[in-house]
Structure 1
């Protein structure tokens, strides 16, 4: 990422403040201070279940710290598309929020954590978090020997959601393999039902879909190897994944480039679409829409593999209300906070001691799979690769969704991997 001069940062920051890009739309709210004891929490959770889950966690915080005014500083854009750039500018400009959303894993590298973020090792010890989070998650959370954020949840990326009614009406079963997928897709297309709905408006969704296809062709170890250098992007199974993705494109909605993920999911709610590959925040979104006609299964070819990501919250150095921020991440990691947040968000708790009875059927199935499946890290959602590499990956796949050139796309991925430390 190109470094910005102090002058440019100042100008950009002034523009953001002037237009009220931060929650509340006022300069006072953006600065996180109105003379009262405040807590400014920065995230990109604005849609359906994710907003409901965040508000549920805010309610837990208010019950514990009633004298603190919470400023909900959200910047719309799935997967943090817009929020990450705003946050980086705020950190560099000396105007950090009190706490901010951060995908667990290598995404933290983007924010130069040793300079801008407070390590939370002592909080992990005092709150016993190192005893209630799974070992694999603790490994994912550590970067350069420190914990930089407290996870609120675990999400699964490789889920295929489907409309139960359109499958039943056509006497079809959800596909377990890609061959079966194309058979049912042909039936739906002939009936005027969109076989696979997708929205790529925000630039990350094509990369999300493709990472699940990579998992299906490479398997858990092969997919992990793409991000460690053990698997080459020239591998024939990467070619196979690109060919599958290209073959999918004629079966998707024609307006895909104009839609966000949730707008695309509306096709299932309206009984106009059959399947949707998206993370399990979709479960929270469906719940927020009071829609119950959906089923789920792993993306074809990925049964037994859990493509994982985790939303965490970090505390920046120089936070205006540091103690309030530390109390916030305590709530995020607490049993009460996770039990309030996750059923609405459509995710499972990061803690291992939460009550499964509080969660719906999908989330209970995800809890079971999390405990038994092979775990692989999502690249689109910050776990598998540093932000620079993940961004290039997303850009390449966005172009592929438009042009469908397998050979040039594979070569571009191979070159990008070499430039970013891959194979």
Structure 2
């Protein structure tokens, strides 16, 4: 796989090869639970020492997932001391800024979180992470990880991260009581119908039919509208030289502008849990968020199908907006063998079961039984195996960090000024500067 293909991420991927994600578990011993292998042979209970793990999982269901991994890490590798280096804020924007400074200053953590796909290219180009082929092979390689997922974390024959999960981004989370009261209980077929339903909700007395947070949540919402309006092929083509000045993009921008008028006022300090809580509390009807939101509903004792419901962003049914969290081995990690213990846990079937049950995502491995999970995750497993795959812009699967930064700046400018032509021209300029 060459460098340009890697930057495309999962943009042109089909669902072929990932159907096994929803497969049943096996009776074989779980890979990743064997003693650590070092140059001097196995080390029972882990390599020893402190293992500093850097993430942006500091609150909500993300923190619950990290807590599960930390607990399991202590159990499986008692020789090691886990150090939580999480930094809160905005889908990792705050964390990435601190991480960039730490890496530049030669102060890497033992492992850090990165989104699988184009985002990792920045670290590879800067020689800040090293291959983890040996860990992936020890975990089972292509026999347990879908090949087209491995392809997207591989460059020039090397794998640079261990995937911990798969998320779907194009999900609408809704309050069925609010919708019923507004006469908008049917799932809308397309964006125009959805906009009409938002007006019904507003007319029923709900001031903000849809909720948003800071800029990254707005990018997240926009990408789902973009793929709904363009269709998966044209959307994927945007990252391989397609036109950001097309009529389809302009139409998506127009519909995004209409939808954002139904939203709450937000600032960059606002994160996703509060936007989800507004739906839970009936102060809003809709929120578009990745499926980490399902754990937020569960944490508030919400019942699937009664207190909340979910469906693909109207117009994007049959499309799985993909992102995946993964963990790296930094070049110059203080405790590389301890870091490999962490990677082994993250990539193990046991680790992925515990983590994804808490976080709301689905395992990256194919040998974790679907019936271990609640209804939403089972539906996501089925969708990932059957739907066309599109890569998330907001979460680093489709674009590198510089390109995402320019898109985020354009979205922030639009939120302040609401100038559609300016947003389109800014998106065109970003693609011309940073596109593949």
User: TM exceeds 0.5?
Assistant: yes
> How far is the alpha carbon of 1:302 from its aligned partner?
0.1
Alignment of 1:166-181 (within 5 A): 166-172=178-184, 173-181=186-194
C-alpha distance 144-395 of structure 1, shift in aligned 2 (>3 A): farther
C-alpha distance 236-226 of structure 1, shift in aligned 2 (>3 A): same
Q: How far apart, CA to CA, are the structure 2 residues paired with 1:180 and 1:323?
A: 54
Q: What's the CA shift string for 1:274-316, capped at 9, x where partnerless?
A: 0111111111222222223110000010000000000000011
* Structure 2 counterpart of 1:363: 377
> How far is the alpha carbon of 1:198 from its aligned partner?
2.8
C-alpha distance 196-315 of structure 1, shift in aligned 2 (>3 A): farther
Alignment of 1:65-144 (within 5 A): 65-112=77-124, 115-144=127-156
Query: Secondary structure of 2:273's partner?
Result: helix
- Alignment of 1:186 with 2:195, yes or no, is no
Contact between 2:212 and 2:287, CA under 8 Å: does it hold in 1?
no
Name whichever of 191-200 and 328-337 sits farther off: 191-200
Q: What's the CA shift string for 1:387-408, capped at 9, x where partnerless?
A: 1011101110121122221112
Bigger fraction of residues in helix: 1
Query: Secondary structure of 1:69's partner?
Result: strand
Q: How far apart, CA to CA, are the structure 1 residues paired with 2:302 and 2:103?
A: 39
Structure number with higher relative contact order (C-alpha < 8 Å, ≥ 6 residues apart): 2
> How far is the alpha carbon of 1:347 from its aligned partner?
0.2
Query: Secondary structure of 1:81's partner?
Result: helix
* Structure 2 counterpart of 1:291: 302
Task: Please report the TM-score for the alignment, with normalisation by the length of structure 1.
Answer: 0.88
Q: What's the CA shift string for 1:73-102, capped at 9, x where partnerless?
A: 110013111001111111111111111101
Q: How far apart, CA to CA, are the structure 2 residues paired with 1:166 and 1:407?
A: 34
* Structure 2 counterpart of 1:280: 291
Query: Secondary structure of 1:273's partner?
Result: coil
- Alignment of 1:339 with 2:350, yes or no, is no
C-alpha distance 144-288 of structure 1, shift in aligned 2 (>3 A): farther
Q: Structure 1: any 5+ residue segments left out of the alignment?
A: 1-35
Query: Secondary structure of 2:239's partner?
Result: helix
Name whichever of 57-66 and 303-312 sits farther off: 57-66
> How far is the alpha carbon of 1:114 from its aligned partner?
6.0
> How far is the alpha carbon of 1:112 from its aligned partner?
3.8
Q: How far apart, CA to CA, are the structure 1 residues paired with 2:188 and 2:59?
A: 29
Q: How far apart, CA to CA, are the structure 1 residues paired with 2:256 and 2:415?
A: 8
- Alignment of 1:265 with 2:276, yes or no, is yes
- Alignment of 1:156 with 2:194, yes or no, is no
Q: How far apart, CA to CA, are the structure 1 residues paired with 2:143 and 2:153?
A: 14
> How far is the alpha carbon of 1:46 from its aligned partner?
1.2
Q: How far apart, CA to CA, are the structure 2 residues paired with 1:267 and 1:240?
A: 29
Q: How far apart, CA to CA, are the structure 1 residues paired with 2:254 and 2:379?
A: 31
> How far is the alpha carbon of 1:194 from its aligned partner?
4.0
Q: How far apart, CA to CA, are the structure 1 residues paired with 2:134 and 2:251?
A: 46
Name whichever of 281-290 and 345-354 sits farther off: 281-290
Contact between 1:47 and 1:285, CA under 8 Å: does it hold in 2?
no
C-alpha distance 312-152 of structure 1, shift in aligned 2 (>3 A): same
1:412 equivalent among 397, 422, 426: 426
Q: How far apart, CA to CA, are the structure 1 residues paired with 2:105 and 2:142?
A: 33
Report how many residues are paired. Answer: 385
C-alpha distance 159-194 of structure 1, shift in aligned 2 (>3 A): farther
Contact between 1:118 and 1:315, CA under 8 Å: does it hold in 2?
yes
